Structure 1
Amino acid sequence: MTTTSAGGRPPLARSLTVPAVTAALALALAACGGSGEPKSPAASTNEGRGPITFATGKDLTGTIQKLVGKWNAAHPDEQVRIIELPEDGDQTRQQLVQNAQIKSDAYDVIRLDAVWTAEFAARRWVLPLQEEKLEPATFVPAALETGRYRGKLYAAPWLTGTGILYYRTDLLKAAGVKSPPQTWAELQDACAKVKKTPEGEGADCYAGQYDKYEGLTVNYSEAVQSAGGQVFDAQGKPQVTSPQAKAGLQFLVDGFKNGTIPPKGVTLKEEEGRRAFQDGRLVFHRNWAYVYAMASAKDGTSKVNGKFDVAPLPGKDGPGSGTLGGNNLSVSAFSKHQATSRDFIQYIVSLDVQREYGKEQSFPLSRAALYDDPAMIKQYPYLPVMKKSLETAKPRPVAIRYSEVSAAVQDHVTAAVTGKKPVDQAAADLQAALSGLAD
């Protein structure tokens, strides 16, 4: 969520491990999907009621089972059975695709990475939802958009989130830095001051996710957005050769050259970076919300407990823009009990049920009211920062061929940050590759 998906894995990183997380923008559906005609015939609508299955990620806390149990107690004739999908995002997508291709009714409600909506909707593997019954105005707006395809809502937002900046409060204080950086220049200046202190000796400055996988697509997109650019414009045309987009790529390239990002950064995914920060080896770290609870652990597994805080990502000239991640829920077009499936989705994403789920796990949820709930903020102090970050976060491209888009980004950005191509050439080559995918 693939990325670390939200059901026990880091929100964007594992569930996104393969097609994964992100470029920043909104790739017009028409541009990526040609005529937009479905690639396979739709199953006939079946308004039946009865027992259903819920295909989701691993339930590490047991909370999903508990919530399903409450539904089952109230619906004896419409029982829900949980089917746990693979932890790896690529394997999950493959399993869901294979199931849809043979028109199997094994799954009724399916959990989709937010970036898969266009593919599943365009191929008519999932059905439009009755949006008005879900109270759309009460969702985080950016999260709601990830469930749309061609103006219709095909997936109800459940788990959401974006990247945030973790920083060492003790090291900044020792260096006389009074507040977290809002710009890249401020981040580099703060690092330089920290390194001059005894407390900061041996600590690396900054790291995100730069290994050649979905996380790199996310981090590149965030850099482009945070420099005022966009990977695709509203018409679905790639814009990676614009001055702003190249400035975002240049930030990453320069970061490796000048030591802001350590050389080993090209091998980092979510968990490697999280461990480095948690072990006290990073001053600043870009990651998802799941890291907060782990870095706050008081059992000796974290060396930075009580010594860190979070802030929105910095940008070129001011606060930056994160990439939106998350998991949504859809009704399989091949379900024999679609009416029950829609009702169950309405139940599981409702405010009260989300609040109960939120008390047991730290992944950001899709109902806006939870970000202002005093009890939730007390339990998860990062929520105000997450709320602010979600206001400027951008979704990944709405592309039927998203995995190819992400692979192209990974190829050419890797070439740039490893010094195999200059920024101008890498940007031009990526522009050409993305233009081909938008035909």
Structure 2
Amino acid sequence: MKRQLIGGSAAALALALALGACGSGDDDGGTAGGDGRGPITFATGKDLTGTIQKLAAKWNAEHPGEKVRIVELPEDGDQTRQQLVQNAQIKSDAYDVIRLDAVWTAEFAARRWIVELPEAPLDPGTFMATALETGRYRGKLYAAPWLTGTGILYYRKDLLSAAGVKEPPKTWAEMFAACDKVRETPEGEGVDCYAGQYEKYEGLTVNFAEAVQSAGGTVFDAAGKPTVNTPQAKAGLQFLVDGFKDGAIPGKSITFKEEEGRRHFQEGRLLFHRNWAYVYALASATDGSSKVNGRFEVAPLPGKDGLGSGTLGGNNLAVSSFSKNKATARDFITYIVGLDTERAYGLEQSFPLSRKALYDEPAMLKKYPYLTVLKAGTERAKPRPVVIKYNEVTAAIQEHVGAAISGKKSVDQALTDLQTALSGLTD
């Protein structure tokens, strides 16, 4: 999913970290604001399609005494987080419902900036299980999953067909072999092999985590200890480093975020591309903006020895501890993440949603044929670490992985330094 709140996307890492100190989160924060009913605000990202406004208008028509006002936050995820944190630190009641990147849930819950949600009205069994877990902190639900998803592989089916390649790759070796075959065809001249997101931002953390997971490793183990000093982690980083070294991953992509890669693929200059589901609609455009409309398909991410594992992305909805109208805020969240509302939202834009049933509905599948692939990938995806110091963790990954793919450090040195840095953040 395109990162509107986190970047890579839209929007992902490994197994959940054991949580550090910094507040128990057991207190629902209710003393900071009232549990009343009345008008509320919904702090969210840019409403690019106007769909959220439509859904809010429907709520307002049915709840004239509890109307919601949409407040659009910055598109940049770091700026959004900073704005939300600043409001929470001064205990502002400016926002009632807040849209969080899934990885922020632990921090906001631990610092008692959001309140625990009752699960029964949300019908938790009907969510994608992996998405639901991103809303939990120490076993309790603090945020309802709304948008979810993981990285998928976009590929040029026309170029593979011209080169005699009948199936999308399941392994890295198969992918690079397919690139070699395509390069030998007239149609493949000037087309780069593969790219993801490698600029030093959240997307690099996501791509590194996916490479490690797709080699059978983890960035953190189940006990919350960093595990980037393993053969599997080395294989994952080596995949990226070797790709840059031999040109399979074009050198220019070291500056790619989601949009740079999306444009490179959409302009017909990339054979394989790792990105989020939002790309599908843009690459399928028939207005002349896409040169690959009707020429591409999607598949699960490949891995070292078989299909890979993506990183779970997503946005969750939570109630601010400082809201005066928490009862209305909870009901509004239940409405927004409800099956009917998610369906209406999903038919207007291509961000993947959290309710399982939508991935199998004929109307949704007709509009978004990639949903079958996305559902399978999301079920295999791993979450980023549920850790209060996530910003420091992702910064360390970006620093040391970035040094490796740019040739400033060897793979072994980068992982040794990263292991040390992460150990210092999770002790």
Identify whether the pair has TM-score above 0.5, normalized to the shorter chain.
Answer: yes
| Partner amino acid, structure 2, of 1:34 | A
Distance, in Å, in 2 between the alignment partners of 1:138 and 1:39 is 25
- SS where residue 345 of structure 2 aligns? helix
Distance, in Å, in 2 between the alignment partners of 1:173 and 1:201 is 15
Distance, in Å, in 2 between the alignment partners of 1:213 and 1:67 is 32
Distance, in Å, in 1 between the alignment partners of 2:208 and 2:8 is 16
Shift of residue 21, structure 1, vs aligned partner = 5.3
- SS where residue 325 of structure 1 aligns? strand
Shift of residue 22, structure 1, vs aligned partner = 2.7
Instruction: Please give the per-residue CA displacement for 1:203-224, whole angstroms capped at 9, x wherever unaligned.
Output: 0100000111110000000000
Distance, in Å, in 2 between the alignment partners of 1:58 and 1:39 is 32
Shift of residue 46, structure 1, vs aligned partner = 2.5
Shift of residue 115, structure 1, vs aligned partner = 0.7
| Partner amino acid, structure 1, of 2:16 | A
- SS where residue 391 of structure 1 aligns? helix
2:119 to 121, 126, 131: 131
Distance, in Å, in 2 between the alignment partners of 1:141 and 1:121 is 20
Shift of residue 18, structure 1, vs aligned partner = 9.3
Instruction: Please give the per-residue CA displacement for 1:122-156, whole angstroms capped at 9, x wherever unaligned.
Output: 00000000012111010001100110000001000
Instruction: Please give the per-residue CA displacement for 1:369-394, whole angstroms capped at 9, x wherever unaligned.
Output: 00000100000111011011011101
C-alpha contact 2:5 2:45 (8 A) present in aligned 1: no
1:360 to 331, 335, 348: 348
- Are 1:438 and 2:397 counterparts? no
1:253 to 241, 250, 272: 241
1:23 to 13, 33, 55: 13
C-alpha contact 1:21 1:115 (8 A) present in aligned 2: no
Instruction: Please give the per-residue CA displacement for 1:386-411, whole angstroms capped at 9, x wherever unaligned.
Output: 01101110111101110100000000
- SS where residue 16 of structure 1 aligns? coil
Residues 219-368 of structure 1 aligned to structure 2 (within 5 Å):
219-368=207-356
- SS where residue 98 of structure 2 aligns? strand
C-alpha contact 2:220 2:227 (8 A) present in aligned 1: yes
* Structure 2 residue ranges without an equivalent (≥5): none
Distance, in Å, in 2 between the alignment partners of 1:18 and 1:175 is 31
Residues 7-406 of structure 1 aligned to structure 2 (within 5 Å):
11-17=1-7, 22-29=12-19, 33-34=20-21, 36-37=23-24, 42=29, 44=31, 46-406=34-394
Q: What TM-score, normalized to structure 2?
A: 0.97
C-alpha contact 1:121 1:154 (8 A) present in aligned 2: yes
Query: Greater shift after overlay, 413-422 or 217-226?
Result: 413-422
Shift of residue 37, structure 1, vs aligned partner = 3.7
C-alpha contact 2:135 2:143 (8 A) present in aligned 1: yes
| Partner amino acid, structure 2, of 1:15 | L
C-alpha contact 2:30 2:115 (8 A) present in aligned 1: no
Shift of residue 158, structure 1, vs aligned partner = 0.3
| Partner amino acid, structure 1, of 2:45 | G
- SS where residue 297 of structure 2 aligns? strand
Distance, in Å, in 1 between the alignment partners of 2:235 and 2:376 is 24
Instruction: Please give the per-residue CA displacement for 1:334-361, whole angstroms capped at 9, x wherever unaligned.
Output: 0001111101100110001100111101
Shift of residue 308, structure 1, vs aligned partner = 0.3
- SS where residue 110 of structure 1 aligns? strand
C-alpha contact 1:22 1:406 (8 A) present in aligned 2: no
Distance, in Å, in 2 between the alignment partners of 1:412 and 1:162 is 24
Distance, in Å, in 1 between the alignment partners of 2:22 and 2:388 is 12
| Partner amino acid, structure 2, of 1:235 | A
For residues 18 and 348 of structure 1, do their structure 2 counterparts lie closer, same or farther at Cα, with a shift above 3 Å needed?
A: closer
Please give the root-mean-square deviation of Cα atoms over the aligned residues, in Å.
Answer: 1.6
C-alpha contact 1:18 1:89 (8 A) present in aligned 2: no
Distance, in Å, in 2 between the alignment partners of 1:308 and 1:107 is 42
| Partner amino acid, structure 1, of 2:3 | A
Instruction: Please give the per-residue CA displacement for 1:170-195, whole angstroms capped at 9, x wherever unaligned.
Output: 00000000000000000000000000
For residues 21 and 72 of structure 1, do their structure 2 counterparts lie closer, same or farther at Cα, with a shift above 3 Å needed?
A: closer
C-alpha contact 1:19 1:90 (8 A) present in aligned 2: no
C-alpha contact 1:140 1:368 (8 A) present in aligned 2: yes
* Structure 1 residue ranges without an equivalent (≥5): 1-10
- SS where residue 85 of structure 2 aligns? helix
Distance, in Å, in 2 between the alignment partners of 1:101 and 1:328 is 20
Distance, in Å, in 2 between the alignment partners of 1:269 and 1:74 is 41
C-alpha contact 2:28 2:114 (8 A) present in aligned 1: no
Distance, in Å, in 1 between the alignment partners of 2:141 and 2:30 is 18
Distance, in Å, in 2 between the alignment partners of 1:343 and 1:38 is 22
| Partner amino acid, structure 2, of 1:28 | A
Shift of residue 43, structure 1, vs aligned partner = 5.0
Shift of residue 70, structure 1, vs aligned partner = 1.0
| Partner amino acid, structure 1, of 2:101 | D
- SS where residue 126 of structure 1 aligns? coil
